[in-house]
Amino acid sequence: MSRKPFLIVETGQPVASMRRHGRFPHWIRSAAGLARDEAFALDVAGGAALPPHDGLAGVIITGSGAMVTERRDWSERSAQWLRGAVQAGTPVFGICYGHQLLAHALGGDVGDNPNGREMGTVAIDLLPEAASDPLFGGLPDSFAVQATHLQSVLRAPEGATVLARSVHDDCHAFRWGDAAWGVQFHPEFGTVHMRGYVQARAEALAKEGRCPRALASDVSAAPHARRVLRRFVRHARASMPRRR
């Protein structure tokens, strides 16, 4: 491998009905445009130890069925490692659970979203600060993303810049410093993944008074979300010559 690899920190697995499509690292590699030899995954939820961050091009943290507020041992160890990686300037990109774990690691607050579950293809609105952001700059003021979560970043870390929100969630994306981002949405989800998650949560959605069939039919493509992930990869690669 001629270039430093990306590390995908695997914090959980897809719902059982979607595992035939592979695990989260495969979905992320595909969406990010990373070849197999450009990234490797470590299953921290399964006990894997994290490596020195100075040998990495960047870090991507997956989603999970776990909750950051459960303070599981592997999650807290990962948060401590992430804090060190971010402070050292390693490019980091957190997705859903990864977004919340990054916020927690940097001193933000995570908890149950008072609006309940957000699920399906939803619109996020960019805040003015996103216009100059390396990942979000130049994107439409509002665009579709795929989302499925119960918890949210309730307070962004001190010094963070909130970049996007939805009607449901006031912190759908944030940046901390020059090289760390968290996004509540799933840029690695295609329509098949999103519909699969809606179907997997059909019973819970029905109990909440929502129609799973309507949510599934409303699922649509979210190409701008994928652009954000691919921009992260390019940004991390471009930043390497300036890092020690």
| Mean per-residue pLDDT, 220-234 | 98
At residue 3, the pLDDT reads 84
Q: How far apart are CA 168 and CA 106, in angstroms?
A: 23
pLDDT above 50: residue 1: no
pLDDT at 242: 46
How large is the C-alpha radius of gyration of the chain?
17
Average predicted confidence (pLDDT) for the chain: 96
Q: What pLDDT score was predicted for residue 241?
A: 52
Structural domain count, the chain: 1
CA trace torsion 91, 97, 99, 105 (10° rounding): -80
**Position 1 in a domain:** no
Confidence class of residue 45 from pLDDT cuts 50, 70 and 90?
very high
**pLDDT per residue as tens digits for the range 82-97:** 999 999 999 999 999 9
The answer to whether residue 81 scores a pLDDT higher than 80 is: yes
Residue 143 domain-assigned?
Answer: yes
- Model confidence at 116, pLDDT cuts 50, 70, 90, reads very high
pLDDT at 25 over 50: yes
Tell me, what CATH number does 50's domain have?
3.40.50.880
Q: Is residue 96 part of a domain?
A: yes
Question: What is the reported pLDDT for 201?
Answer: 97
Query: Does residue 243 register a pLDDT over 60?
Result: no
Give the per-residue pLDDT at 2: 54
Residue 240 has pLDDT above 80, yes or no: no
Please report whether residue 214 resides in a domain.
yes
Residue 225, in any domain of the structure: yes
Say what the pLDDT of residue 86 is. Answer: 97
pLDDT band at 244 (very low <50, low <70, confident <90, very high): very low
Contacts of 76 (CB under 8 A, 6+ apart): none
pLDDT of 115 higher than 70? yes
Q: What is the pLDDT of residues 53-70, one digit of tens each?
A: 989 999 999 999 999 999
In whole angstroms, give the CA distance from residue 100 to residue 182: 7
Kindly report the number of other CB atoms within 10 A of residue 238's CB atom: 11
Residue-number span of the structural domain to which 144 is assigned: 6-242
Residues with a catalytic annotation lie at 96, 186, 188
pLDDT, tens digit (0-9, with 9 covering 90-100), for 127-142: 999 999 999 999 999 9
Q: What is the pLDDT of residue 238?
A: 92
